[in-house]
Amino acid sequence: MEEILTTDVAAEAEAAPMEDSAVVEELVPKKKQRKPINQQKLQDNLWGWIFCIPLLVGTIWFVYSALVMAVMLSFTDYEMGSAVTLGEVLANLGGYLHKEYITDPMTGLTTSTGTPSPFYWYIEAFTNTYKSGTGAEFNEMGIYLFNTVFYMIGIPIGMILSMFFAVCMSRDIKGGNVFRVLYYIPCVASTISIVYTFKIMFDKDGVFNQLFGSSFDWIYGKMTWNQVFGLSSESDFMRDPYWCQGLAAKFVIVVMSVWKGLGGTIILYVAGLSGVNTATKEAAQIDGANGWQIFWKVTMPDLYPTIFYNIVTSVIGGMQIYAEPVLLFGESNPNTSGYVSLIYDYGLLGRQTDGKDPSAGAAYGMILAVMIFVMTLFQFWLDSRKKD
């Protein structure tokens, strides 16, 4: 018996140091073992960054740097070809905005008067007026902005038409792929060729007038509502070509924009329709739903991401319309030019000043950027409310 007790005590005495050492090892943090480097993955990542570098450099230099520079220029009075360097202008934001000058007839010295304001160009944008042929005055920016918004009428029209054609093309019909290619051709054609085609179509002796037996000059005319209806009203709306000829000319741009953008939107809708849940449609058919109900209750919810993408991108692109009105009707035409024309006219042509004034163009550009940003945020806000 004594021998057994002695043996147990000895065993416990030997086990105690071993338990203590185990506790100590647990308390001491273990060194993290370095994972072996995957050479193939490292090489793939390296080549990926190498291919991305040109895009990153181009984006930072030509987009973000240009945006920062445009914001700074919009608060200055920097003028191309001026003796003042750009660095001096940026170091004295607003300090060169003395737009009233007095020349002493005795000495010939010119001095500036008035308080310089960094918001000079923004104030000018909202206060500049345009006088029409009838003598009526409008805010110049408002006129060009109205033209831009009018052109955006084509967005819902194009959405509805492209949805209709996409649904037709998604059905199993012979030659479906041929129709898809034909409708996509306008997206491949150059804008200049399309504008030239529509200029011929809507000419005074063009196809459109011959088709309807009319002789209306859609492009170069100066018709008023008084002339159209044979009246002699003194209201500016009836005797100003802006409200008659201008609307007719903008109608041509809307038709051309819808036709040109139809193909790309159709392709996106066809791709979206291919992802609609077939099982849900079959279940709805079994439950007795007709085609119209299936379209609104099954197809449209699944197609919503595509619709939302098309609306956002179309609004952003529509606010920046420039080439089509300029190529069809000429530069600096208040009847037809879009808002972007103001950026070009003030920034590069020097409409208001003797020289080219990029500061004025930058201010108009910042106003447009804010409008697009606010509208895009509003669309995303509506989207979030729909999801909630």
From first to last of its 388 residues, the chain has per-residue pLDDT tens of: 445 445 554 555 555 555 555 555 555 556 566 666 677 788 888 888 899 999 999 888 888 888 888 888 888 777 666 555 556 655 556 555 545 555 556 665 555 555 567 788 888 888 888 877 777 788 889 899 999 999 999 999 999 999 988 888 877 767 667 777 777 888 888 888 898 889 888 888 888 888 888 778 888 878 888 888 888 888 888 888 888 888 888 999 999 999 998 888 888 888 888 888 778 888 888 888 887 888 888 888 888 888 999 999 999 999 999 988 888 887 778 888 899 998 888 887 766 545 557 888 889 999 999 999 999 999 999 888 876 6
β-pair partners for 112: 101
Contacts 24+ apart (CB under 8 A), 106-109: none
Distance, CA of 171 to chain centre: 32
Residues 6+ apart with CB under 8 A from 359: 73, 74, 75, 76, 77, 78, 79, 121
Which residues 6+ apart lie within 8 Å of 315 measured at CB? 152, 155, 372, 375, 376, 379
**pTM, entire model:** 0.77
Read off the tokens for 27: 């308390």
The CATH homologous superfamily to which domain 152-338 belongs is MetI-like (1.10.3720.10)
Alpha helices in the chain (DSSP H): 2-27, 39-59, 65-73, 86-91, 120-127, 140-151, 154-169, 176-188, 191-201, 207-212, 225-229, 236-239, 245-274, 278-286, 291-294, 300-319, 323-329, 340-344, 358-387
What 8-state DSSP symbol labels residue 333? Answer: -
* Domain locations along the chain: 152-338
